[in-house]
């Protein structure tokens, strides 16, 4: 499997706090059949993009050497999770902060207080720069939980979506589970990530979670979201979500 969203790189954000913990998270990833991890630390300040990227690459090299020493076979690829607000577009370029240097960029928003119009403005800024936004954990935002049409509208624009595995097993609340389920069932969500932060808090145990995902969705759908789909992203291939059905807010589970 490919974990395209994780915070297992030490000393970068609120994720792994040490090289030792990063190694253990990588060991856990391999035990859960993850063969590739895209490292997506939070970008704290877009004005300091170059410093962030240098720091990320240095930490990634340290982790790669540690994995070689421990004989842990996990492919590590560079990325970032970009917090989007009005200030982020002062960054001159997002080039090396995309997922493995591709045209695809992982973004997140504040959990409360945004509306569809503002989200559309933000994603169109990325499209105008030749980038394809992938919204991280859209099922966790309070405004998307209240208004499913926001998801439908963003999908019509070509925005892609990555669900957290923890949401599909109910760890982020019923509203997040229902929205995540609806998006996966109707073809709106294309990827699943661990969003792992530490060994004990949001670990990257995707294989264990997979066994508890809602069974109303065929296994091959989950398999594509964890393998074939993210492979296209990290290879910078054209990605076609395919047909999808709009979702409506109601109790699914």
CA 69 to chain centre: 28
Predicted confidence at residue 252, as pLDDT, reads: 47
- Let me know if domain 2-234 sits in CATH 3.20.20.140: yes
In angstroms, the CA 103 to CA 97 distance is 10
Please give the average per-residue pLDDT across 26-36, as a whole number. Answer: 97
Mean pLDDT of all residues in the chain?
Answer: 96
Least reliable range by pLDDT among 9-23, 85-99, 139-153, 231-245: 85-99
Residues 6+ apart with CB under 8 A from 91: 46, 47, 49
Assess whether pLDDT exceeds 60 at residue 212: yes
Summarised one tens digit per residue, pLDDT across range 36-89 is: 999 999 998 888 899 999 999 999 999 999 999 999 999 999 999 999 999 999
In angstroms, the CA 158 to CA 165 distance is 22
Hey, where are the domains in the chain?
2-234
Predicted confidence at residue 251, as pLDDT, reads: 54
Summarised one tens digit per residue, pLDDT across range 79-100 is: 999 999 999 998 888 989 999 9
Q: With beta carbons less than 8 A apart as the criterion, state whether 49 and 92 touch.
A: yes
**Any idea of the CA torsion for 18, 22, 24, 28, to the nearest 10 degrees?**
150
Residue 66: φ, ψ to 5°: -65, -40
- Give the strand pairing for 42-43 and 2-6: unpaired
């Amino acid at each position: 499997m490919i974990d395209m969203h994780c915070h297992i790189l030490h000393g970068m954000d609120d994720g792994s706090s040490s090289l030792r913990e990063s190694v253990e998270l990588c060991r856990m990833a391999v035990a859960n059949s993850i063969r590739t991890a895209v490292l997506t630390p939070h970008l704290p300040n877009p004005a300091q993009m170059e410093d962030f990227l240098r720091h990320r690459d240095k930490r990634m090299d340290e982790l790669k050497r540690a994995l070689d020493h421990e004989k842990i076979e996990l492919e590590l690829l560079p990325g970032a999770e970009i917090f989007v607000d009005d200030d982020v577009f002062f960054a001159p370029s997002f080039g090396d902060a995309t997922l493995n240097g591709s045209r695809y960029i992982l973004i997140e928003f504040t959990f409360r207080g945004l509306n569809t119009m503002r989200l559309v403005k933000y994603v169109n800024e990325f499209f105008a720069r030749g980038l394809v936004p992938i919204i991280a954990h859209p099922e966790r935002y309070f405004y998307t939980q209240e208004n499913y049409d926001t998801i439908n509208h963003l999908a019509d624009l070509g925005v892609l979506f990555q669900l957290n595995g923890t949401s599909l097993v109910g760890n982020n609340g019923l509203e997040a589970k229902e929205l995540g389920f609806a998006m996966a069932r109707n073809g709106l969500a294309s990827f699943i990530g661990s969003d792992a932060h530490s060994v004990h808090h949001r670990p990257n145990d995707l294989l264990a979670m997979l066994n508890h995902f809602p069974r109303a969705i065929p296994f091959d759908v989950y398999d594509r979201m964890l393998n074939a789909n993210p492979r296209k992203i990290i290879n910078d291939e054209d990605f076609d979500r395919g047909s999808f059905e709009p979702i409506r807010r109601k109790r699914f589970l």
